[in-house]
Amino acid sequence: MWLTRYSTRRSGRNTPFSKSLLIALPKASWVSPRRRNAYSWQHSLLSAGLAALIGGTGLWLTEALIAPQASQAYTSRLDLFLARESGETYNTLLRRAEMAARAGAQRTFDQDLLITNVSVTVVVEGDGVTVPILDLRVDRNQWRSRPETYYWATYYRTAEALLNSTGSSLSF
């Protein structure tokens, strides 16, 4: 093993880093003070960076746990088509449309837990005329508190007049 560093002090003085001491020490065990300071500075910079990374991640996780992301509303749209039976009155048809809308809304909420809003439109086909009869728009909490179609539905007033008239009397 060859000596790579020499003392710049006079050999007459008794110094802690004399040539004899340098020769006796292995190469890896002796580090100059200047290099030791540089290593210390780099080590502290690395430690500070690691602490900032861990601290920042911890802060982000704490924020995510305290203030979670806002949930989004998912709306399901369902169109139901009913065929008008011969001799069926409008009130009977309306009750059948309400039952179909109720079943459609309940089935939609049951199938997907992420859906928050349901829109069901019931359309009746009869005598060559296609008419929307009711529209049910309800969110999950409203439906859970009151699952009644007539309470949340919008009824179209002109549907009865259009369905009771014959297809030949309508002219456009």
For residues 85-95, average pLDDT = 92
Distance CA 83, CA 146 (A): 28
> To the nearest whole percent, how much of the chain has pLDDT over 90?
42
CA distance 2 to 26: 10
pLDDT of amino acid 131: 94
Q: What is the pLDDT of residues 93-105, one digit of tens each?
A: 999 999 999 999 9
**What is the rounded average pLDDT of the residues 70-74?**
74
Written in H, E and C, the secondary structure of the chain is: CCCCCCCCCCCCCCCCCCHHHHHHCCCCCCCCHHHHHHHHHHHHHHHHHHHHHHHHHHHHHHHHHHCCCCCCCEEEEEEEEEECCCCCCHHHHHHHHHHHHHHHHHHHHHHCCCEEEEEEEEEEEECCEEEEEEEEEEEHHHHHHCCCHHHHEEECCHHHHHHHCCCCCCCC
- Give the mean pLDDT of 129-154: 94
The answer to whether the beta carbons of residues 42 and 32 sit under 8 Å apart is no
Q: What is the pLDDT of residue 55?
A: 65
Q: What are phi and psi of 127, to 5 degrees?
A: 55, 40
Higher pLDDT, 47 or 6: 47
pLDDT in tens, 9-46: 555 555 555 454 445 545 555 555 555 555 565 667 67
Question: What are residue 99's phi and psi, to 5 degrees?
Answer: -65, -40
As a whole number of angstroms, the distance between CA 21 and CA 26 comes to: 10
Identity at 121, one-letter amino acid code: T
pLDDT average, residue stretch 135-158: 94
Instruction: Give the pLDDT score at 47.
Output: 74
Burial of 40 from C-beta contacts in 10 A (0-12 / 13-18 / 19+): exposed
Average pLDDT score, the chain: 77
Q: Average the pLDDT over 58-76 and give the result.
A: 68
Alpha carbon distance 124, 120 (integer Å): 13
pLDDT-derived band at 1 (thresholds 50, 70, 90) equals: very low
Question: pTM above 0.75?
Answer: no
